[in-house]
A and B are shown apart, each in its own frame.
Chain A
Amino acid sequence: MNTITDQNHIMLRVGKKQIESQNFATLFFNHALPFKPGQFIMVWIPGMDEKPYTISYHSKENFAITIEAKGLFSTKAISLETGDLIGIRGPFGNGFNIKPDDKVAVVAGGCGMAPLATLMEQLSKSTTFIHGARSKEYILYPERFDIERLFCTDDGSFGYKGFVTDLLEKEITSGKHFDSVYTCGPEIMMYTVFCICEKYDIPCQVSLERYMRCGFGVCGACVCGKQVVCKDGPVFESSTLRAMKDFNAKALLKSGKDVDLSQYFSWRCK
């Protein structure tokens, strides 16, 4: 069996396809992939495009990616079926810096749950796990994990009505102690998590997203401040985030033009 590497793709056939909800599907591949939570792979649909995806399920023999139908590529990716061929290269990036003895809070927002899923499987049952989305249909893996979860939605259709960041601050002010916080979700949410962590002096790790090309830190498409997201990240710790002036502020379009995040995300979702 060919090994998946960070050089040229190897082609794999989609194994099982699992529908997560009306907005998400997971594609499984019966192939080994050396991998650490928080890393990503580049997924090539021949004749279409190639995009970075996180690994959402992982075992010795297989792995999976979870796709939210948003733009052209993801709509195509979510329509793939068992037996369809795609190219994979990776893994890329640093992954989360997991400290097994820490008292941890994990904060997931929307599809930001996917990169955190394999991390959850490595954390203790006492982990504080906060998971939110805009509404019930956007809650990914509601039945997965052995860890108790605090749910919330923007519209109150599932769990607490409000933001994950409200719940995080409540947990902290109610006297819970955390040694570290891991988060992935919309950048504005992660920025708020970071600010709360700064306020209470808790180290945090956030997983950033930027438009990527090479995946290995050469082309420069994904730079954020002085950091190269695909190579130095995508997970960044508080010490780096403090100096990262583009965090929650700016990102580059495909042309390399720097724009406000709102403009960037409206382009990314096309």
Chain B
Amino acid sequence: MTLKFLGIKLKNPMVLASGVLGNSKDILERVHENGCGLVTMKSIGPEPRDGHNNPTVIDLGCGLINAVGLPSPGYLNMENEWKDLKNRDFPIIASIYGGSVKEYKMVAEFVSLKKPDFIEINISCPNSEKHGMIFGVNPQSSHDVVAAVKKVINVPLIVKLTPQALNIGDIAKACEDAGADAICAINTLGPGMVIDIEARMPVLSFKKGGLSGPMIKPVAIRCVFDIYKAVDIPIIGLGGITTGEDAIEMIMAGASLVGIGSAVRYRGIDVFQTVSDEMEAWFLDHHCSLDDIKGAAHEGNQS
């Protein structure tokens, strides 16, 4: 299932979601070896940041809730990792975040010089007090940050969106107009909260956290469907994708590539190969290819 995405050759349409197993070249390489066409580094921020105390990630059975809190060594403190990644033989997305347009630009400009294959800006993380969310829920501020970042980088730009936007299609359109090369959707849903009734307090130390995994898949499918209608740039669709059939559904909503995160919990690190194989089997059975079904759910659809 080799394909090209924004000019880069990928061995299949599977993408490792940001924030999952993205901490070092070694582990990114292992994910790639386990059937993932495109891997995303853990989000890189403007300053060193520890993230929140535990509990930060809890499995609720139907998916995860997390408030890890954007831990990052800070963009200036990752020279070992960049050195390791220089000798990679697989494509990567460098995910970045900031608290202001200035911070996004500063981090993006620096990271671009490290030559990742793509830069993804996270304008949608719900797990910190100020980082990102304000941009992702407003078309104008989304436009501003994308336009600013686009000017200072020379690799394709992916924008990661939040399902919390009132109209995610409008946000995606604003990003496209500002020069975004692709959209990645969705980030975790929520925030939500889980209270332990014996302890009488929220389980997560940050109290609120983003939801992921199977429970959010219908929201992710709807968001990608809306984005596909609004823009012409390609979409990385993710949110609860766990099986080949989930991935097919996401592609029919309009995704070009399919991301996986929480499913690593449910099916192991080789879930990428497994889902890719399941997709191939489905295509074989239905005598069609990925391109044949992309956006298929929109055909003959008036609304």
Contact = CB atoms under 8 A, between A and B. Distances in A.
Interface of A: 6-9, 11, 42, 44, 46-51, 85, 87, 89, 213-221, 223, 225-226, 228, 231, 245-246, 252-258
Contacts, number: 127
A50 to B, nearest CB: 4
B81 A87 contact: no
A27 to B, nearest CB: 17
Given A8-B59, A256-B73, A220 B42 contact: yes
Interface of B: 19-24, 26-27, 29-30, 42, 48-51, 53-61, 64, 66, 68, 71-74, 77-78, 80-81, 194, 196, 198-199, 201, 203, 205, 261-262, 264-265, 268-269
Given A7-B60, A50-B54, A214-B56, 9 more contacts: A7-B58, A85-B198, A214-B57, A218-B20, A218-B64, A225-B26, A252-B24, A254-B50, A255-B71
B261 A254 contact: no
Nearest to A223: B27
A222 to B, nearest CB: 9
Interface pairs A-B: 8 shortest CB-CB: A257-B73, A50-B54, A11-B198, A214-B57, A46-B199, A220-B21, A220-B23, A254-B50
Contacts of A217: 21, 264-265, 268-269
Nearest to B265: A218
Given A46-B199, A256-B73, A228 B27 contact: yes
Nearest to A252: B23
Given A218-B264, A219-B68, A256 B23 contact: yes
Contacts of A257: 48, 73, 77-78
A49 B199 contact: no
A256 B71 contact: yes
B42 A256 contact: yes
